[in-house]
Structure 1
């Protein structure tokens, strides 16, 4: 990013220089004279908007409070929002220089935001500590300082609330045991013994189950590895602030690429999975088969959030790698180089253990017959 070309959205009251959000003080800080300006905190609860699949007039929800321009990457298709007048030379997602300004920004502005609390230096330190704990990395990489291209990005998320009512039916299996007589061969001789044999008794069941879901968190970005985002998922939503454009000063915000409707489909899948697990727990038993669940979703509401992430890429031995740092908690997720030698030695070690177990069992057949 070319900071020299950054438009002054929040001029310093002392020197008129550009002020950006400072993670340490949680206020605006002048890049030139270091002066601080307090951001007025919005303490009201974020508004939950009624979810409606039909088109609606979203003009009132598209006011970001400061003029924005969209940047589109021709290589990966990623789109970010930066202040009008600011320039960028590379894509924050893939590092490609092929970025183009888009004239019309028609995006629902975020309802809430968690401001950055982890600084750039703290993010780099978190990554350095994290990579030292990875066993399968090359020793040289562990000891080397990584030259990361780090960007502070507000990633868009949707959250959904809903009331659910489910009816279910299933067959429940209960284990029972009976004593049976069996024979076995020990040292060439046949002998008789008794053992407990398990069998299952099945019966039908049905019932209903009600549950509320609050803040099902769904990434609205389609440009990140979903597994990496899940590993960053320890955001503390209790620390949400009402949206103010000051929090975005000095950072990039990604424009959501997953719509409200697409986000709700993902949220519903997650809710269905949770309901399946919880209803199985309610049913109980030792086994469950032919479980059928029909769920009605009511009072669906949504919020649009921005959550802070340090997105980074680096090159090691001519190959590009990526990692992310949670801008609120410092949690790290990423992909790192692997040592073929360490992986081979570990695989041989496991094969040696398995081989020893197989040899031991083969050498002591009485153990198998005793446990049968």
Structure 2
């Protein structure tokens, strides 16, 4: 009987991008938007089929992680796990990462890789590390209530180029609603008051609300509702970086990851959809209230049906940095497509105290002049 081939023989070979000129490593260059040799400077274009991103049907009853076609990242990958923060990063099997790009810990260990849905699309890095550092310098110089030494000084930070996983969801919604709409009206009323011990009569305008029941339909299509698929960061910091131009998405290719790290998603599709659904429901409520009009709305009840649900997994570029100031850790991130900065900074207690005292003094002055005028 013929012996079966070793399991390793069927495995996808590790993907590397050697320079055809000198054999050196070729990494993705944010300025050239091509692969660039780190030794001789030779550039090679990245093939782009020009095909449109595929939107996959959102079927939460099964798991796409069982579909080999949807979990093939295009290279034999490994997952590194940080024992300090729990972060998982994905990188080619032959590469190593000694420091966690999330928290800076050196406790990064290789673990058995598990199937994960490959990215459908990617926005390649547009901002270089040097540009990211310049963006942070400009950003921190405009912060209020920070120490002058921090604002004007040079901050030494460790930057990591990292692709953050995101989900996008599409949904067609049909909503019916009932509510009570309130419209303001005014009427003239007669009242009395006492002035210098004498009672006098005067008229004034009084506002009142007329309520009536309303109902109707509200249909809306939602396209590319963006949800971070990472738990590694403060959600508010990531939310501030969400000015990505998704019209610039490119077909995912492993070449774009050459020289960078990619985080493995830690928010599953089902949870991502629930977050997207909250945003969709909030947007529907705002749209319905705008459609109802009036001055006030109460007792709004909405019933929504969802159809045409689709999703895709994409990677978006971030420069992630950690730094310390006077012994305390801080973090900032730079959107590597737009240069937008989000982060935490030290605060100056003196500036905050002076500002509070100034506000209190301003209020007291205003109250003084109001008292004098009366």
TM-score range, shorter chain: over 0.9
Which residue is equivalent to 2:9? Answer: none
Q: Deviations over 1:237-261 (max 9, x none)?
A: 0000000000000000000000000
Q: Does 1:225 align with 2:219?
A: no
Q: Specify the SS of the correspondent of 2:350.
A: helix
| 1:167-206 correspondence runs (5 A) | 167-187=176-196, 189-206=198-215
Runs of 4+ in structure 1 deviating by more than 6 angstroms, as ranges, are none
Shift of 1:21: 0.2
Tell me, yes or no, if the aligned pair for 1:165 and 1:211 is still in contact at 8 Å: yes
Q: Deviations over 1:296-345 (max 9, x none)?
A: 11010001010000000101000010000000010001110111111111
Cα displacement (A) at 1:362: 3.7
Question: Could you tell me which of 21, 26, 34 is aligned with 2:28?
Answer: 21
The two structures, once aligned, show a CA RMSD in angstroms of: 1.3
* 1:141 match: secondary structure: helix
Is 1:258 the counterpart of 2:267? The answer is yes
TM-score with structure 1 length normalisation? 0.94
Partner Cα separation in structure 2 for residue 8 and residue 51 of structure 1? 31
Counterparts of residues 247-326 of structure 1 (less than 5 Å)? 247-326=256-335
Asked if 1:149 is matched to 2:158, the reply is: yes
- Tell me how far apart the structure 2 counterparts of residues 206 and 221 of structure 1 sit (CA, whole Å): 40
User: How far apart in 1 are the matches of 2:175 and 2:220?
Assistant: 8
Q: Does 1:345 align with 2:354?
A: yes
- Determine if contact 2:145/2:351 at 8 Å carries over to the other structure: yes
How has the CA–CA distance of structure 1 residues 214 and 43 changed in structure 2, closer, same or farther, with 3 Å as cutoff? Answer: same
Matches for 1:40-59 after TM superposition, within 5 Å? 40-56=47-63, 57-59=66-68
Indicate if the aligned counterparts of 1:109 and 1:304 stay in contact, CA closer than 8 A.
yes
238-247 or 134-143, which moves further after superposition? 134-143
Which of 247, 270, 274 in structure 2 is aligned with 1:238?
Answer: 247
Counterparts of 2:367 and 2:77, CA distance in 1: 66
**Contact 1:8 1:19 (8 Å CA) reproduced:** no
Question: Secondary structure of 1:140's match?
Answer: helix
| Alpha-carbon distance between aligned partners in 2 of 1:198 and 1:139, rounded to the nearest angstrom | 52
Return the alpha-carbon distance in structure 2 between the equivalents of residues 363 and 83 of structure 1.
75
Q: TM-score, normalised by structure 2?
A: 0.93
Q: Which residue number corresponds to residue 4 of structure 1?
A: none
